[in-house]
Amino acid sequence: MTRKTVRIAMNGVTGRMGYRQHLVRSVLAIREQGGLDLGDGTVLWPEPVLVGRREHALQDIAERHGLEHWSTDLDAVLADPAIDIYFDAQVTSAREEAVRKAIAAGKHVYCEKPTATGLEGALELAGLARDAGIKHGVVQDKLFLPGLLKLKRLIDGGFFGRILSVRGEFGYWVFEGDWQEAQRPSWNYRAEDGGGIVVDMFPHWEYVLHELFGAVKSVQAHVTTHVPTRWDEQGKLYDATADDAAYGIFQLEGGAVAQINSSWTVRVNRDELVEFQVDGTEGSAVAGLRACRVQHRSATPKPVWNPDIPATERFRDQWQEVPDNGEFDNGFKAQWELFLRHVVLDEPWRWDLFAGARGVQLAELGLKSSAEGRRLDVPELTAGVLL
């Protein structure tokens, strides 16, 4: 086997996503498995170069994982011809500028969602990347979750018949930060820092709906900030200027309707932190991050509405577990491997910065719909052109 090294500048690796999912669970996990086998006698070996603002934090991570390269000077890293890929998992508000620089330096680009803070910026990045002829991608990890892969298997196998509706329930209680520490960074609750649940979650809903059920044709959202003040990492009280809950209805190409609640102000009475119920003429399914349960029309009970008597059946017990039928890798790692193959082997890839821009577009229109109190059409974006 010949080993081919690919050098990846990884910015934002001190953060939650950058460290755990992208560095440890993806890039380092690929190294632990011996690299990425390209199937032609070559093994791809990702070599991360940690980039960030705090020297001691980077050094600390590098030492912990036996890594040699780290820098606080993004410009110098991008000027290094040995760097192949720029990856960005910084706070959202810092992404656009850094990605623009990476494209100008001729690096391939892979980044977290949302790709920019507004549609104009997201489209500009995608256009620049296309014109520069680099490979580019956005993280769309939910597509690689076991629960959603099972759902996709059901769709591809024709289980549902005609899909009528999708009900998504996402959320959990994020502590305010006074008597219990908040489990998400405080910038998520400040609009001026790129926070807000719409900006965070609608990009996910865009690609999940698009890839599984059909492109989103219209959006109607009610967006709110239920908890107006919170305590930050220093224990200081601050105004939560960003939305912490969004109640959205999405009309999909093909006629199905999706209704998704996203909330950091809800207590979980579900099996998983996100669940989608899909109802079709032939059957229904409830998929979470990992599990998926189904009920076929032939096994559907016939309840009769009568509030005077207790429930006669245990409805949740009437569903059947969908088997794994295989092993599921970490979703972030699975997508990293596809991106690396796209970069070095030119294999097909559709999760590019234009796909990322669609997510930003849906978030922007969701917020607008709520502010204006009306349903908005979602114009189609084809290679950066609004149709």
Residue with smaller CB distance to ligand NAD, 202 or 250: 202
DSSP 154-168: HHHTT-SSSEEEEEE
- Residue pair 108/114 in contact (Cβ under 8 Å)? The answer is no
Q: Is 197 an interacting residue with respect to ligand NAD (CB under 6 A)?
A: no
Q: What is the gyration radius of the CA atoms in the chain, in angstroms?
A: 22
Residue with smaller CB distance to ligand NAD, 113 or 293: 113
Amino acid at 170: F
Please give the residue whose beta carbon sits closest to ligand NAD in the complex.
15
Q: Is 117 an interacting residue with respect to ligand NAD (CB under 6 A)?
A: no
Task: Give least dist CB 216 to ligand NAD, A.
Answer: 19
Task: Determine which residue in the list 112, 169, 211, 337 makes contact with ligand NAD, applying CB under 6 A.
Answer: 112
All residues at 6 or more sequence positions from 376 whose CB lies less than 8 Å from its CB, including other chains: 218, 219, 220, 365, 368, 369
Q: Is 141 an interacting residue with respect to ligand NAD (CB under 6 A)?
A: yes
Task: Give least dist CB 208 to ligand NAD, A.
Answer: 11
Name beta bridge partners: 111: 88, 138
- Residue pair 231/176 in contact (Cβ under 8 Å)? The answer is yes
Q: Is 115 an interacting residue with respect to ligand NAD (CB under 6 A)?
A: no
Q: Report the alpha-carbon distance of residue 208 to residue 252 in Å, rounded.
A: 12
Q: Is 200 an interacting residue with respect to ligand NAD (CB under 6 A)?
A: yes
The encoded tokens of residue 256 equal 């199905």
Task: Give least dist CB 185 to ligand NAD, A.
Answer: 4
Residues of span 89-108 touching ligand NAD by CB under 6 A: 89-92, 94
Question: Of the listed pieces 12-20, 285-293, 307-315, 353-361, which binds ligand NAD according to CB under 6 A?
Answer: 12-20
144 burial via Cβ count (<10 Å: 0-12, 13-18, 19+): middle
Q: Can you give the binding site for ligand NAD, defined by CB under 6 A?
A: 12, 14-18, 52-53, 89-92, 94, 112-113, 139, 141, 185, 187, 200
